[in-house]
Amino acid sequence: MKYLTKINAKKLNNKTCLLRVDFNTNLLRNSFRINAVLPTIKFLISKKAKIVILSHRGRPINEKNKKLSLCPVAKIISKKLRTQVRFFSDFNFKKIKEKINLDKKSRIFLLENLRFLPGEKNNESKLAKRLASLGDIYINDAFAVCHRKNASTVAITKYIESYAGLLLEKEIDGLSKVVKAPKKPLVVILGGSKIINKINIINNLNKKTFRFLLGSSIFNKLTNPEIKKLQKNKKIILPIDFIKNNGMYFDIGPKTIECYKKIINKANTIIWNGPIGMIEKKKYSTGSKQLASAIIRAKAFKIIGGGETVNFILSENLQKRMSFLSTGGGAMLDFLAGKKLPGIIALW
């Protein structure tokens, strides 16, 4: 794989770089993913390159949904970088290319939501060629969408010289450490309402993991045959007391918190994906808050992933106490489960 960090700086001078990022966020006030790609943008600016930012946002049903426009993001990036960001609201690729080439003031351009184009999700070659025609070099810095076969992450690499960006390199390096050779003991904390989607992580990391700590939601799925199998795994620690309401399990109880804290304290590597309780409601967030406190005190390499978990860490202002916050949700799950991500394979 070719990394942007290894490229000859002269190769970027006055070139137009297509930068695929992931600005897929419902709350534009939450600029975690925007901040995560700023180092790559600044790197390209320092090398005197023009940058055409490509992204999607949401899952629009109609071809154009104003609520999912990327136009507000242009203003956010402009403010953060204190420079002009030119936004293209349509997809007239011929005119866009002309405007980019003729524009002597702007160095950063942003295209409208790629999912307004039906060929994006279908990994359409025709669309990929049209996107590739806008630039000289393609850079994928969108780890969070690398588990999907999209025109802007997979097919496009057939038509333009392609590299992995600074963020994507950081994600691959950080997650590879815990998949290939984690510093033991490795403790994996898995929560969230979709615990069934994380079974492959348990299977892939089982031999390397000291303990798996599961959230309260697993007890809402006990009739599932796959969940029943988990109970036979001696490395899996299940909650022993709970906060319940109307027969549903919404958080772990104080005895479980103390048990989990002791295990976390022994860890040299920690992976946490998915809140341990229903953190949307304050009365069910105690378990996650207590475990977060234990994690920041642990002398371990700490990887946090999944949208809800990362947002929780940000809301508690604990991000600087963690080793690495992954921008990936489904992509992180697939990577930890040992799956090959199409967006990463396309760069080889």
DSSP conformational letter for 183: P
**Are 130 and 191 within one domain?**
no
**Are 279 and 228 within one domain?**
yes
Q: What is the mean pLDDT of residues 104-108?
A: 90
Residues in Cβ contact with 180 at an 8 Å cutoff, skipping those fewer than 6 apart: none
**Are 23 and 150 within one domain?**
yes
* pLDDT, tens only, 146-171: 999 999 999 999 999 999 999 999 99
Q: Determine, yes or no, domain membership for 286.
A: yes
Structure-token pair, residue 142: 């969108």
**Are 98 and 196 within one domain?**
no
pLDDT of 258 over the 70 cut: yes
pLDDT of 176 over the 70 cut: yes
**Are 218 and 156 within one domain?**
no
Residue 224 confidence (pLDDT): 75
**Are 189 and 118 within one domain?**
no
Residue 85 confidence (pLDDT): 96
The model's pTM is 0.93
In terms of C-beta density within 10 A (0-12 exposed, 13-18 middle, 19 or more buried), how is residue 81 classed?
A: middle
Q: Which of 28, 30, 54 is nearest to 41 (CA)?
A: 54
**Are 138 and 285 within one domain?**
no
As a whole number of angstroms, the distance between CA 103 and CA 87 comes to 13
Last residue of a domain, one of 168, 194, 215: 168
- Domain with residue 8: its CATH number is 3.40.50.1260
**Are 25 and 84 within one domain?**
yes
For 148, the domain range is 4-168
Q: Determine, yes or no, domain membership for 9.
A: yes
As a whole number of angstroms, the distance between CA 82 and CA 115 comes to 28
**Are 47 and 119 within one domain?**
yes
Residue 27 confidence (pLDDT): 53
Query: Residue 303 phi/psi, 5° resolution?
Result: -110, 125
Q: What is the mean pLDDT of residues 246-259?
A: 94
Q: Determine, yes or no, domain membership for 241.
A: yes
As a whole number of angstroms, the distance between CA 227 and CA 233 comes to 11
Q: Determine, yes or no, domain membership for 10.
A: yes
* pLDDT, tens only, 16-39: 999 999 998 765 556 899 999 999
**Are 252 and 327 within one domain?**
yes
Q: Which of 333, 321, 210, 327 is nearest to 273 (CA)?
A: 333
**Are 44 and 132 within one domain?**
yes
In terms of C-beta density within 10 A (0-12 exposed, 13-18 middle, 19 or more buried), how is residue 13 classed?
A: exposed
Please compute, for residue 313, the number of CA atoms within 13 A of its CA located in the half-sphere on the CB side. Answer: 29
Q: Which of 89, 71, 85 is nearest to 28 (CA)?
A: 71
Partners of 55 in the β-ladder = none
Q: Check residue 135 and give left, alpha or beta (phi > 0: left; psi -120 to 50: alpha).
A: beta
* pLDDT, tens only, 197-237: 889 999 999 999 999 999 988 888 777 777 778 888 999 99
Q: What is the mean pLDDT of residues 69-80?
A: 93
Q: Check residue 232 and give left, alpha or beta (phi > 0: left; psi -120 to 50: alpha).
A: alpha
Q: How many domains does the chain have?
A: 2
> Confidence class of residue 12 from pLDDT cuts 50, 70 and 90?
very high
